[in-house]
Amino acid sequence: MPKVVKIESFGDAEVMQIHEEEIAQLKAGEARVDHIAVGLNYLDISHRQGHYPLPLPTGLGVAGCGVIREIRSESAELAVGDLVTYAGVPPGSYAEQRIVEADRLVKLPPDIEPTVAAAALQHGITAAFLIGDVFAVARGHLVLVYAAAGGVGTILCQWAKSLGATVIGTVGSQGKVSHALAHGCDHVIVSTAENVAERVRAITSERGVDVAYDSVGADTFEASLNSLAFRGTLVSFGSASGEPPPVPVGDLAKFGSLYMTRPRFIHYTRTRPDLLRYSTAFFERIRAGLKVSIGQSYHFNEIVRAHKDIESRQTKGSSVITF
């Protein structure tokens, strides 16, 4: 029977246990995928800790890449033996094999490595809708990206730079500065040693940035607001430090007629055409030279260590689990 990671309670990394589990029979519209690799996302940590409570027991992991072994779908787009990837599905990817809704699967182009797709598709799609639809970054924009050395940040900074933006990235330690500079940042702020808003104002000659992409949440929310130019946009797309506090609508005027949005992956990939559009955009960026940095690779049996490494904030780029 395939091996899977399950948790029976919320807590630290040790609550994850590897079990053998029989996979259910396919329902109409589903596919069985044998994994080659699966992605690690900070969302998985939040799920494990219970910040977004799931019914227990539950699996973890929302992204992966593998081969279709069985499929029950009327679509001729996918077939047994196809190499496919996916992201943003219900938790359960930490497994040698899993069932996925067929319309959430993306056929992997032959020039994209399976480990790259597993590790970074969630990040790449996120970057695609953040930079294209949530706020359309263009030449001349000043952009602030938090966690610039992380999975989404590494991709988002390069993408914004390629569109002609000036990119300011934040990192949590001096050891991540060189990574951020090598992946699209024009300026890097070490958030644990510097006042982010003050540095942004200094870099931009007091103007502020057109958009701040904030994946950290509560700890950085005020700095994000204080970093924006008049009529700037705060994109709060993560809550690694907890959810930001409520904001009175009048405060948006006080800070300079600001815009604020909280996009979610599932809402931007709700339809299959959107899922394929963002996936294709990400793959095209890779072909154009965007570097997917897989900073950490773990064997399936090392899942506890993988989570501990991510929580320690010492990882860079994307992380992947192989079998």
pLDDT above 90 (res 49): yes
pLDDT of residue 265: 97
pLDDT above 90 (res 179): yes
User: Residue 209, exposed/middle/buried by CB under 10 A (0-12, 13-18, 19+)?
Assistant: buried
Model pLDDT for residues 261-274, shown as the tens digit of each residue: 999 999 999 999 99
pLDDT above 90 (res 75): no
Nearest to 52 by CA among 90, 86, 19, 101: 90
Query: Cα angle vertex 156, ends 155, 162, to 5°?
Result: 90
pLDDT of residue 39: 98
- DSSP-assigned letters across all residues of 21-52: -PPPPPPTTEEEEEEEEEEE-HHHHHHHHTSS
Boundary of a domain, candidates 261, 285, 313: 261
3-state SS, residue 189:
strand
Confidence of residue 207 (pLDDT cuts 50, 70, 90): very high
Average pLDDT of 81-102? 98
Model pLDDT for residues 234-245, shown as the tens digit of each residue: 999 988 888 888
Confidence of residue 52 (pLDDT cuts 50, 70, 90): confident
Task: Give the domain extent around 149.
Answer: 139-261
Distance separating alpha carbons of residues 140 and 127, to the nearest angstrom: 19
pLDDT above 90 (res 76): no
User: Residue 272, exposed/middle/buried by CB under 10 A (0-12, 13-18, 19+)?
Assistant: middle
pLDDT of residue 261: 97
pLDDT above 90 (res 37): yes
Tally of domains in the chain: 2
Residue type at 23 in one-letter notation: I
**CB neighbours (10 Å) of residue 277?**
18
Q: Which of 102-106, 249-253, 281-285 has the lowest mean pLDDT?
A: 249-253
Nearest to 128 by CA among 106, 160, 164, 165: 160
Is 211 among the domain residues?
A: yes
What is the SS3 string spanning 235-283? EECCCCCCCCCCCCHHHHHHCCCCEEECCCHHHHCCCHHHHHHHHHHHH
pLDDT above 90 (res 86): yes
pLDDT of residue 255: 87
Distance separating alpha carbons of residues 137 and 169, to the nearest angstrom: 15
DSSP state of 312: T
pLDDT above 90 (res 208): yes
pTM above 0.85, yes or no: yes
- Shared domain check, 56 and 77: yes
Residue type at 74 in one-letter notation: E
Nearest to 282 by CA among 142, 61, 85, 139: 85
pLDDT above 90 (res 217): no
Rg (CA), the chain: 20
Average pLDDT of 255-261? 94
- Shared domain check, 277 and 246: no
- Shared domain check, 113 and 44: yes
Is 162 among the domain residues?
A: yes
Is 228 among the domain residues?
A: yes
CATH code: domain of residue 303: 3.90.180.10
Boundary of a domain, candidates 231, 261, 291: 261
- Shared domain check, 276 and 302: yes
Confidence of residue 93 (pLDDT cuts 50, 70, 90): very high
Q: Which of 29-38, 200-209, 231-240, 271-280 has the lowest mean pLDDT?
A: 231-240
- Spatial CB neighbours of 296, under 8 Å, sequence gap ≥ 6: 40, 306, 309, 315, 316, 317, 318, 319, 320
pLDDT above 90 (res 141): yes
Percent of the chain with pLDDT over 70: 100
Q: Mean pLDDT of all residues in the chain?
A: 96
CATH code: domain of residue 200: 3.40.50.720
pLDDT of residue 3: 98
pLDDT above 90 (res 288): yes
Residue type at 26 in one-letter notation: L
The two three-digit tokens of residue 227, written as one number: 């970093």
pLDDT above 90 (res 88): yes
DSSP state of 108: P
Percent of the chain with pLDDT over 90: 91
Model pLDDT for residues 94-104, shown as the tens digit of each residue: 999 999 999 99
Nearest to 189 by CA among 218, 238, 223: 223
